[in-house]
Structure 1
Amino acid sequence: MYSCEKHVEIALDEVIDEHEMPPEIELVQSQERISNRCSFCEEEAKYKISG
């Protein structure tokens, strides 16, 4: 799941609820931000969150 700065807490909650484990958070590299959008608002993603 990708998230912008504004929606990172919501994304973290969803991953925790789905996987019941602490999520991994990675900073999306600037060249990757153009092709990866926030799962909630379509802004450029700043974080990749996985469980």
Structure 2
Amino acid sequence: MVIHCCEEHVELAIDVIIDEKETFPVLEKVNIIHNLYTTCEYCDKPTVYIVSNERSHT
């Protein structure tokens, strides 16, 4: 499971990973280039973090 999120929604994304996958989430900050192409899954702001239950998504 991978969730792209902005700064405002990072806590929500972490909670979703914990609730749905019952594992500690992996939090990765994305670079500026990646920001230009993706937006937060909860709003239209640029992605700042990728929260997942896996490693290396950037």
Category of TM-score, reference length = shorter chain: over 0.9
Question: How high is the TM-score relative to the length of structure 1?
Answer: 0.94
Question: Runs in 1 of length 4+ with deviation above 3 angstroms?
Answer: none
Amino acid at match of 1:27: K
Structure 1 residue 36 displacement after superposition: 1.4
Aligned residue in 2 for 1:41: 43
Q: Distance in 1 between matches of 2:22 and 2:30?
A: 23
Distance of 1:41 and 1:35 partners within structure 2: 14
Superposition CA RMSD, Å? 0.6
Q: Where does structure 2 lack aligned partners over 5 or more consecutive residues?
A: 54-58
**How many residues are treated as equivalent by the alignment?**
51
Question: What is the identity, as a one-letter code, of the residue corresponding to 1:37?
Answer: T
**Any idea what the Cα deviations from partners look like across 1:10-50, whole Å, max 9, x if unmatched?**
01000111110000010011010011110100210000000
